[in-house]
Structure 1
Amino acid sequence: MEVMSRRSVRSPSTPKTPGACPCGLSEPYDRCCGSYHSGAGAAPTAEALMRSRYSAFVKGDAAYLLRTWHPRTRPARLELDPGMRWTGLEILATGDGTAFHTVGTVEFRASYRGGSLHERSRFERVDGAWVYVDGDFPE
């Protein structure tokens, strides 16, 4: 699958507005990733799911992370480090992953206090909903 590169200008390192979504978009959390976390809506694209999963890590929502993980690769349980402080998300590239696709990729850099994680994640639709499959770590 070819990945089409797109630099993100929408992802500040830390939300600047009180109540802003941790994913870096300007919407308030409750109207952005919070609506996915609560089950009020489903992420419409692979990128939206990636952003919501990042926000779930920030918020410590392991249940959402497990719910949005592909059944064939999902771990039995997930324990998050309560001391981890995520500080920002940058979307580096996306490939497919829209309403017209069944698979997609999102390459991102997630920063945390003391470092960052660079991953190219793979997503698929299961019963119409986007789920995280797995990822690799580009050099």
Structure 2
Amino acid sequence: MKCPCNPSKLYKDCCKKAHQNIHSVTTPEILMRSRYSAFVMANIDYLQKSHHSSTRPSNFEKKEILAWTKSVEWLKLNVLQSTENTVEFKAFFYENSSLNVIHENSLFVKENDHWVYKSAL
């Protein structure tokens, strides 16, 4: 299976490692890519684990996110810029027969000895 974050790589050689062991993630970009793949695969447990505790969605929001991720067709991820603790990206998807894009510059920090998503900048 091709990896959702980068179709030139196999999932088993890319985001699967992060999904199985978040401590294997060594950079914010790898974490962001693994989060995108988790959205595509509706891996809500990983999305929660890779989210900072102070901004992590509630259990109610978790159910809403799961329903939403399953209702859209994810198309591709473009990483525009990556720094020491930020990643700017565009994630493209179809929702209700309309092309949409999430364009975000995300902040990542370390918590419990691994990288986590903190917030959009």
Which structure: greater helix fraction?
2
Cα distance in 2 for partners of 1:25, 1:43 equals 19
- Which sections of structure 1, spanning at least 5 residues, go unmatched? 1-18, 97-103
* Equivalent in the alignment of 1:101: none
**Native 8 Å contact 1:35 1:41 kept in 2:** no
Cα distance in 2 for partners of 1:105, 1:49 equals 11
* Equivalent in the alignment of 2:39: 57
Count of matched residue pairs: 111
* Equivalent in the alignment of 1:107: 88
* Equivalent in the alignment of 2:54: 72
Would the alpha carbon gap of residues 105 and 73 (structure 1) be closer, same or farther in structure 2, given more than 3 Å must change? same
TM-score after normalising by structure 2: 0.85
In the TM superposition, what whole-angstrom CA distance separates every residue of 1:103-131 from its partner, at most 9, and x where no partner exists?
x0000000001211100100001132000
* Equivalent in the alignment of 2:6: 24
User: Quick one: which amino acid aligns to residue 38 of structure 1?
Assistant: Q
> What is the Cα-based RMSD across aligned positions, in Å?
1.5
Which structure: greater strand fraction?
2
* Equivalent in the alignment of 1:92: 80
SS in structure 1 of the partner of residue 36 of structure 2: helix
Would the alpha carbon gap of residues 125 and 25 (structure 1) be closer, same or farther in structure 2, given more than 3 Å must change? farther
* Equivalent in the alignment of 1:4: none
TM-score after normalising by structure 1: 0.75
Cα distance in 1 for partners of 2:23, 2:87 equals 20
**Native 8 Å contact 2:32 2:87 kept in 1:** yes
Would the alpha carbon gap of residues 94 and 40 (structure 1) be closer, same or farther in structure 2, given more than 3 Å must change? closer
User: Quick one: which amino acid aligns to residue 67 of structure 1?
Assistant: K
- Which sections of structure 2, spanning at least 5 residues, go unmatched? none
